[in-house]
Amino acid sequence: AASKIVFTNGSQDPWRHASKQKSSEDMPSYIIKCSNCGHGTDLRGCPQLPFRIEGDSSNCTSPEAVNIVRKQIVKNIDLWLSQCHEPTRTW
């Protein structure tokens, strides 16, 4: 089974109820709370025209909420990468 998966959901994401809601050490779950945080907010920011590929969070009603979750995601991934070890070869 897979582990070390991050689940993020916008508070207005219609899919959030089908996603993991409860966090665990290997599978954290974050909900970004703002009135226009929908599906994919952690990656692309909130609705914006013209679309900006870098994921601008300034259009979110709570850009700080998006940025906090993004930092938590990076922290989790950094931790997991630091725990990686080179495989031991037994030749």
Domain that holds residue 36: 7-82
Structural domain contains residue 73:
yes
Q: Does 88 fall in a domain?
A: no
pLDDT in tens, the chain (91 residues): 678 888 888 888 888 888 888 888 888 888 888 887 888 887 777 776 676 666 678 878 888 888 888 898 899 899 989 988 776 667 6
The token pair at 63 is: 């850009």
What does pTM read for this prediction?
0.73
Residue at 2 is within a domain: no
pLDDT tens digit sequence for 37-54: 888 887 777 776 676 666
Look at residue 74 and tell me if it is in a domain. yes
How far is the C-alpha of 20 from the C-alpha of 22, rounded, in Å? 6
- Asked if the structure places residue 44 within a domain, the reply is yes
Query: How many separate domains does the chain show?
Result: 1
Q: What is the pLDDT of residue 78?
A: 92
- Whether residue 42 lies inside any domain: the answer is yes
Q: Is residue 87 included in any domain, yes or no?
A: no
Provide the token pair at 39. Answer: 């599906």
H or E stretch including 37?
Answer: none
